[in-house]
Structure 1
Amino acid sequence: MPTDGLLTLMQWLSPGFPLGTFSYSHGLENAVAEGRIKDANGLRDWLVTVLSNGTGRNDAILLAESWRADDPSDVDALARALAPSRERLLETTAQGEAFCATVNAVWGMDLPPLCLPIAVGAAARQQGIALDRTLQAYLHAFAAGLVSAGQRCMALGQTEAQKIVAEVAPLCLSLAEDALTQTLDDLGGSAFLAEIAAMRHETLQPRIFRS
């Protein structure tokens, strides 16, 4: 029967989908360890920066381009080249490969291993799921995943965590709308401290996350 893809997106981007998302912090663990993020306000500000001027915005553009492409391999190669550190590359490729393996097995697709935003865009296209809905769900899941990581590496209660997710939801919608008309020429970012935190995480000890 016809579907708008909402339930499929909810399944793909839920914490229960076997991507291993719980094991990545996107450099957040290092930022907490160095005292750059100490409370809910600090986490919210960090997340807004990463969404607006870092990975969130760029992932949305890359996802949209992969959704539009007949062959997403060139977009995927660019996504890999844009990863600023070894752990950030691992984060997007390992989750993307796990995503592709699962949707291939469950939905009968034949996606090659792809970076996560590329994989989600390509899969949504094959399933006929609208780009705007896909972007909104992806960005919201990205934000929620990082807030969940924050709960595990700093003093952050469940209610405070959910407040942060709710507060950044309008930003996710805005970034998704922007990505509908953006192209690869619009890629770029200025979340420098977040990128440095991801690099410094490679030597952080002790640690609980892979990035």
Structure 2
Amino acid sequence: MNPDELCRALHLASPALPIGSFSYSQGLETAVDLGLIRNEEQAFTWISDGLTEIIGCCDAPVIAFIHRACRSHPPTDALSEIAHWNSWFLASRESMELRRETEQMGWSLLQLAQALNWISPAAGTTELEPVAFPTAFGLSASGLALTETTTLTAFCFSWLETQVAAAMKLVPLGQTAGHRILNRCRTNVPMVVHAAANTMPEDISAWAPMLGILSARHESQYSRLFRS
């Protein structure tokens, strides 16, 4: 990877992007509230399993499909395939919170990408409303001319950072403990990226019943720091 591509990938994966990722825990807050996560090791297990069993089996493959569609054809020609996976991902969200999360982050990233000329407003993306976050991420990565491997790596690491930051606030954990988790989970990213890149459309899975239940319970949780 050349330095310019690395900088583009770091920009897309940056926690400084104004897309609101810091405000979501994706079920982690309810898991802590119910006593399922009480320490560093349990937080590591939760985040590591989420990376391999959820992100690697659902979010990352969707990004790969959308990225390939964009790189193989102009976005306007690939719009039907992009719309298919966008609709599929939205339908796979099992709670109102998770649905609103991906719609809000997707809309925010799409607006930013258009403002920064990563995506042309004429690319037909307005027809995707509402747009899921993986859709916006794949479109942005394609517009930045990132390779598929770089795109998936950036997405996975960005997700890990967000989850670790949430765990540090909720468990709570110190900064060193949080980075121990990040350091351990990081070693799984290449494996997850490889698996996602080789996932066939018929093998994609959003099967995560505990996440759906915890997210649904979070909607009526008495005290909350996060939006999911």
With normalisation by structure 2, the TM-score equals 0.87
Matched, 1:5 2:5: yes
Is 2:12–2:154's contact at 8 Å kept on the other side of the alignment? no
Opposite residue 186 of structure 1, the aligned amino acid is D
The equivalences for 1:11-160 within 5 A come to: 11-69=11-69, 70-71=78-79, 72-107=82-117, 109=119, 110=121, 111-112=125-126, 113=129, 114-160=131-177
Compare 66-75 and 34-43 and name the one that shifted more: 66-75
SS of the aligned residue for 1:206 comes to: coil
Following the alignment from structure 1 to structure 2, what is the Cα–Cα distance between the partners of residues 179 and 22? 24
SS of the aligned residue for 2:219 comes to: helix
Following the alignment from structure 1 to structure 2, what is the Cα–Cα distance between the partners of residues 165 and 57? 20
Gaps of 5+ in 1: none
SS of the aligned residue for 2:187 comes to: helix
Opposite residue 167 of structure 1, the aligned amino acid is R
CA shift at 1:56, angstroms?
A: 4.2
How many residue pairs end up in the alignment? 210
Following the alignment from structure 1 to structure 2, what is the Cα–Cα distance between the partners of residues 167 and 154? 18
CA shift at 1:97, angstroms?
A: 0.6
1:166 matched to which residue of 2?
A: 183
Following the alignment from structure 1 to structure 2, what is the Cα–Cα distance between the partners of residues 195 and 91? 13
Compare 50-59 and 125-134 and name the one that shifted more: 50-59
Write the deviation string for residues 49-100 of structure 1: whole angstroms up to 9, x where unpaired.
2112124431000000111122211110001001111111111111111000
Q: CA RMSD in A?
A: 1.6
Q: Percent identity?
A: 27
2:222 matched to which residue of 1?
A: 205
Compare 54-63 and 78-87 and name the one that shifted more: 54-63
CA shift at 1:8, angstroms?
A: 1.5
CA shift at 1:148, angstroms?
A: 0.4
CA shift at 1:4, angstroms?
A: 5.1
Is 2:56–2:195's contact at 8 Å kept on the other side of the alignment? no
CA shift at 1:117, angstroms?
A: 1.1
Opposite residue 142 of structure 1, the aligned amino acid is W
Write the deviation string for residues 88-142 of structure 1: whole angstroms up to 9, x where unpaired.
1111111111000001001252243521111111221222210001101100110
Task: After the TM superposition, list the runs of 4 or more consecutive aligned residues in structure 1 that deviate by more than 3 angstroms.
Answer: none
Following the alignment from structure 2 to structure 1, what is the Cα–Cα distance between the partners of residues 55 and 217? 17
SS of the aligned residue for 1:139 comes to: helix
CA shift at 1:184, angstroms?
A: 2.1
